[in-house]
């Protein structure tokens, strides 16, 4: 039987609200996903809460969708609640129509009394949502072609049944990333505590703009921007503001390696020249596993000759490999660990050879699009990139514009832009084995072993460590001109946290661990 889904996902940012006898208690009580029949469509409603001037402001976004997830009606509106009254005033825009009126909660029933201004025949309606049981809702509505509110007839209701909370992941189809904040009400206290840590970090480091996202295995529970993405124009950091993520680009590249392994297009034991014939043979063979774990002996940047601050545009991966391809290995591959962004540049050439397409397009088509990472893109200098932040440095205690660089010499190792929202969404896909198999994810998160049997904490595009309670977490940091980022995941606890900033500064996973602890208490 075809069905309609009603998702009433209500999330609040700020101070937690006690469930007193007021309309907010009703909304809190009907959180979740509700299913009815026989309509072949779904309805998603999401309310966000902000307290200001002793009033409650709830911004609502509602979308009515077909089974194929095509939106054929889109409502956006605002609700205003005064605690001294029992009413909520609302105004909602639906295409060319405006719905406005009042909500009232009486007992276990939420009433809407609305007038409609627009081109349609319907001019007013009265509706009611009745909580008949804890897991059952009845929806009634009466419509009128006049401006006089119709009497509500409690006849022929749509009956909704609550689905399990695990179904929320599939039906929370949107979080408005153009906003500066999204908070799941159930985590309001955790967010309040974490905001204090973030605010202190921003003050200590003098960070112009910072963004954070926190996700459980099932849901993104917090996404928020702080400060400015552009100081000169006073543009605030929004959820979809794109930051330089530096070496977290290696974590993205590792996804491609995992996918190619699953598709049997490469093996970690393969020699590099199998896929990159233009890379010269060295004294010792270099394998893919050596590259992914930084044990290949490939050198890193030569900082003295300005490679890290390169402003040259490289038109291909092969051209960027010319920077280091003729240099000798630092040691026999597998015998030592030496962090090298150029190892991942060479790895991008391996991906091109294995996939038979250029790296940038493979990442877009085979990784980012399937994972719905809408704001993860190369940091092209010559393109206008929507919502890209400005990049800053600090000089003599003052914030200055960051040095102009071109990251085309290191796409796979440090050349991407992204958002914390995208990074934790990606982490959720790994936790739920939605993009890669569990066995593949475990490969990515397993520390490498040197030829003498010594384990190192670097895995494949991730590092692994344990906290003070011996809980395992995986993470990667990213430093770039005008950026500092951290991505951290607790696999067993199912928590993912990402932080990005638009300042060349220093903070590491120890700071993120403090926030993780708050969300795991």
DSSP one-letter code for 58 = E
Which runs of E-coded beta strand occur in 68-195? 71-81, 87-94, 97-106, 109-117, 124-133, 136-144, 158-162, 181-183
Sign of the Cα torsion 201, 205, 208, 212 reads negative
Q: How far apart are CA 318 and CA 325, in angstroms?
A: 10
Q: What is the pLDDT of residue 110?
A: 82
Q: What is the pLDDT of residue 30?
A: 67
CB atoms within 10 A of CB 465: 14
pLDDT in tens, the chain (521 residues): 334 444 444 443 333 333 334 566 676 666 656 666 555 444 444 445 444 443 445 555 444 444 444 444 555 566 666 655 556 777 776 656 788 888 888 888 888 898 988 878 889 999 888 887 777 888 888 999 999 999 998 888 877 777 654 444 333 435 778 888 888 767 888 999 999 999 999 999 999 999 999 999 988 999 999 999 999 999 999 999 999 999 999 999 999 999 999 999 999 999 999 999 999 999 999 999 999 999 999 999 999 999 999 999 999 999 999 999 999 999 999 999 999 999 999 999 999 999 999 999 999 999 999 998 999 999 999 999 999 999 999 999 999 999 999 999 999 999 999 999 999 999 999 999 999 999 999 999 999 999 999 999 999 999 999 999 999 999 999 999 999 999 999 999 999 999 999 999 999 999 999 999 999 99
Q: What are the phi and psi torsion angles at 104 (to 5°)?
A: -145, 135
Q: Counting Cβ atoms within 10 Å, is residue 222 exposed (0-12), middle (13-18) or buried (19+)?
A: buried
Q: What are the phi and psi torsion angles at 34 (to 5°)?
A: -120, 140
Q: How far apart are CA 221 and CA 375, in angstroms?
A: 19
Q: Give, in order, the Cα–Cα distances in Å from 438 to each of 345, 370, 445, 458.
A: 26, 17, 10, 19
CATH 1.25.40 fits 4-176, yes or no: no
C-beta of residue 501 within 8 angstroms of C-beta of residue 210: yes
Topology (CATH level 3) of domain 188-495+504-520: Beta-lactamase (3.40.710)
Q: Hey, what are 223's tokens?
A: 């996404």
C-beta of residue 110 within 8 angstroms of C-beta of residue 26: yes
Q: How far apart are CA 241 and CA 420, in angstroms?
A: 9
Q: How far apart are CA 400 and CA 505, in angstroms?
A: 13
Residue with tokens 């991966």: 317
Among residues 120, 50, 48, 57, the alpha carbon closest in space to that of 91 is found at: 57
Q: What are the phi and psi torsion angles at 334 (to 5°)?
A: 90, -10
SS (H, E, C) 438-488: HHHHHHHCCCCECCCCCECCECCCCEEEECCCCCEEEEEEEEECCEEEEEE
Q: How far apart are CA 476 and CA 82, in angstroms?
A: 45
Q: Hey, what are 5's tokens?
A: 């889904």
C-beta of residue 221 within 8 angstroms of C-beta of residue 187: yes
C-beta of residue 78 within 8 angstroms of C-beta of residue 99: no
SS (H, E, C) 199-259: HHHHHHHCCCEEEEEEEECCCEEEEEEEEEEECCCCEECCCCCEEECCCHHHHHHHHHHHH
Residue with tokens 């980022």: 485
The H or E element that residue 510 is part of is: helix 509-520
Q: How far apart are CA 220 and CA 211, in angstroms?
A: 14
Which runs of E-coded beta strand occur in 308-422? 377-378, 392-395, 398-401, 416-418
Residue with tokens 């609200």: 17
Ranges of H-type helices in 55-187: 168-171
Q: Hey, what are 251's tokens?
A: 């974590």
Q: How far apart are CA 128 and CA 141, in angstroms?
A: 6
The H or E element that residue 432 is part of is: none
The DSSP line for 333-363 is: TTS-----HHHHHHHHHHHHHHHTS-HHHHI
Q: Hey, what are 264's tokens?
A: 């049997």
The contacts found for 140-145 with CB under 8 angstroms, 24 or more apart, are 145/121
Among residues 290, 350, 355, the alpha carbon closest in space to that of 318 is found at: 350
Among residues 33, 97, 44, the alpha carbon closest in space to that of 71 is found at: 44
C-beta of residue 375 within 8 angstroms of C-beta of residue 421: yes
Domain ranges of the chain: 4-176, 188-495+504-520
Q: How far apart are CA 415 and CA 243, in angstroms?
A: 11
C-beta of residue 88 within 8 angstroms of C-beta of residue 100: no
């Amino acid at each position: 039987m075809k069905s309609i889904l009603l998702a009433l996902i209500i999330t609040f940012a700020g101070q937690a609200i006690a469930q007193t006898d007021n309309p907010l208690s009703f909304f809190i009580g009907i959180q979740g996903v509700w299913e009815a029949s026989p309509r072949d469509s779904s309805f998603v409603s999401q309310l966000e809460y902000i307290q200001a001037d002793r009033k409650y402001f709830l911004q609502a976004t509602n979308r009515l969708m077909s089974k194929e997830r095509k939106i054929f009606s889109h409502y956006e509106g605002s609700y205003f609640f005064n605690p001294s009254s029992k009413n909520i005033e609302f105004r909602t825009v639906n295409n060319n129509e405006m719905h406005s009126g009042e909500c009232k909660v009486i007992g276990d029933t939420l009433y809407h009394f609305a007038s409609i201004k627009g081109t349609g025949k319907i001019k007013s309606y009265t509706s009611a949502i009745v909580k008949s049981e804890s897991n059952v809702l009845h929806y009634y509505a009466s419509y009128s072609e006049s401006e006089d509110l119709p009497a509500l007839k409690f006849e022929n209701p749509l009956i909704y049944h609550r689905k399990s909370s695990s179904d929320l992941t599939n039906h929370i189809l949107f979080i408005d990333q153009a906003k500066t904040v999204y908070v799941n009400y159930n985590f309001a206290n955790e967010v309040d505590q974490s905001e204090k840590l973030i605010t202190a970090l921003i003050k200590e480091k003098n960070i112009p703009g910072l963004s954070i996202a926190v996700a459980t295995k099932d849901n993104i529970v917090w996404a928020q921007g702080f400060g400015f993405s552009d100081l000169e124009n006073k543009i605030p950091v929004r959820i979809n503001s794109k930051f330089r993520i530096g070496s977290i680009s290696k974590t993205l590249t590792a996804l491609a390696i995992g996918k190619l392994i699953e598709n049997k297009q490469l093996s970690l034991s393969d020699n590099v020249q199998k896929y990159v014939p233009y890379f010269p043979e060295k004294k010792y063979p270099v394998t893919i596993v050596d590259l992914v774990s930084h044990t290949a002996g490939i050198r890193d940047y030569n900082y003295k000759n300005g490679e890290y601050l390169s402003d040259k545009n490289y038109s291909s991966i092969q051209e960027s490999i010319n920077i280091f391809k003729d240099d000798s290995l630092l040691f026999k591959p597998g015998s030592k660990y030496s962090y090298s962004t150029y190892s991942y540049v060479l790895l991008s050439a391996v991906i091109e050879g294995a996939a038979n397409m250029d790296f940038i397009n493979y990442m877009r088509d085979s990784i980012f699009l399937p994972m719905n990472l809408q704001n993860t893109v190369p940091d092209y200098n010559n393109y206008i990139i929507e919502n890209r932040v400005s990049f800053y440095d600090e000089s003599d205690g003052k914030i200055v514009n960051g040095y102009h660089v071109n990251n085309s010499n290191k796409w796979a190792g440090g050349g991407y832009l992204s958002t914390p929202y995208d990074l934790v969404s990606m982490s959720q896909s790994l936790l739920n084995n939605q993009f890669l198999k569990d066995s593949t994810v475990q490969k990515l998160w397993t520390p490498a072993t040197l030829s003498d049997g010594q384990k190192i904490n670097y895995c494949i595009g991730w590092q692994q460590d344990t906290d003070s309670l011996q809980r395992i977490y995986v993470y990667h940091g990213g430093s770039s001109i005008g950026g500092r980022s951290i991505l951290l995941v607790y696999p067993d606890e199912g928590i993912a946290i990402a932080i990005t900033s638009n300042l060349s500064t220093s903070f590491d996973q120890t700071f993120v661990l403090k926030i993780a602890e708050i969300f795991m208490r």
